[in-house]
Amino acid sequence: MKKIITITAFLIAVISLSGMTQEMNLDTLLSRYYKTIGMATIKDWNTLIMKGKTTAQGMDLPVTIYMKRPGKIRVEVEIQGNKMLQVLDGQSGWSVIPWSGTMDPQDMTPDDVKGMKQQADFEGSLYNWKEKGHKLEFIGKEDMDGTQVYKLKAVLANENIETYYFDAESFVPIKVSSVMKIQGNETESESLPGNYKAVEGAMMPFAIENKFKGQTVSNVLIETYEVNKVVDDNLFIKPLKK
């Protein structure tokens, strides 16, 4: 009798696990992600200021990122007394690269603008994906370096491809692989967000490791997030050349 009960319990457990696996699909995964990350709160954010530092090539460089709706973003990196800037005014982009030999602002390439527009999206590619013209595919569950993850592939309207790996327990993305076309060539990179903490009702990463061709190129540590603070529109306007 005990053996029959044990076998019955085992079969029930297997059936239950099978049901749980079958229940996980694209809509369920996105719903859990939206809820966990606090998407309903993020939708009410009009500005966001992130301050921290990036470690690259053995140097710690102060970083400030300004975001403002609709579609504006400014990235500042302090390097030896100068500022490297990457700015999108909502439509067009410009940059200042100190080591290029000039401090005059330069227009971004169409490929760079495409990438900046992705970064300037407060909710990210996965929210309102149909309206944005993206295509999503739920791949399934797999092991990633000892952590169970749900994998999702996004083919964006701009033809870039993003693959998301969500922690199967917390439903936050812990890795995003990107394939972008730059000057006709495909370029692959990885972003590994972590150390998620609550920020004004949402969950935000405070550490991001960036990789290129499998090698770490930078580690970004966010120290503060400031939500709905005043952000001057002049920050995004391309200055006249000196």
Does residue 10 belong to any structural domain of this protein? no
CA distance 54 to 231: 22
pLDDT of residue 13: 46
pLDDT of residue 76: 96
Does residue 241 belong to any structural domain of this protein? no
Does residue 224 belong to any structural domain of this protein? yes
pLDDT of residue 6: 53
pLDDT in tens, 22-56: 479 999 999 999 999 999 999 999 999 999 999 87
pTM, 2 dp: 0.86
pLDDT of residue 182: 75
pLDDT under 50 in the chain at which residues?
1-5, 8-22
Which residue range is the domain that position 198 belongs to?
23-236
Number of independent structural domains in the chain: 1
pLDDT of residue 242: 62
Residue 231 to residues 82, 227, 235, 236, Cα–Cα distance (Å) = 21, 10, 8, 10
Does residue 12 belong to any structural domain of this protein? no
pLDDT of residue 180: 85
- Omega within 30 of 0 (cis) for the link into 205: no
Q: What is the CATH number of the domain that holds 76?
A: 2.50.20.10
CA distance 143 to 147: 6
pLDDT of residue 153: 97
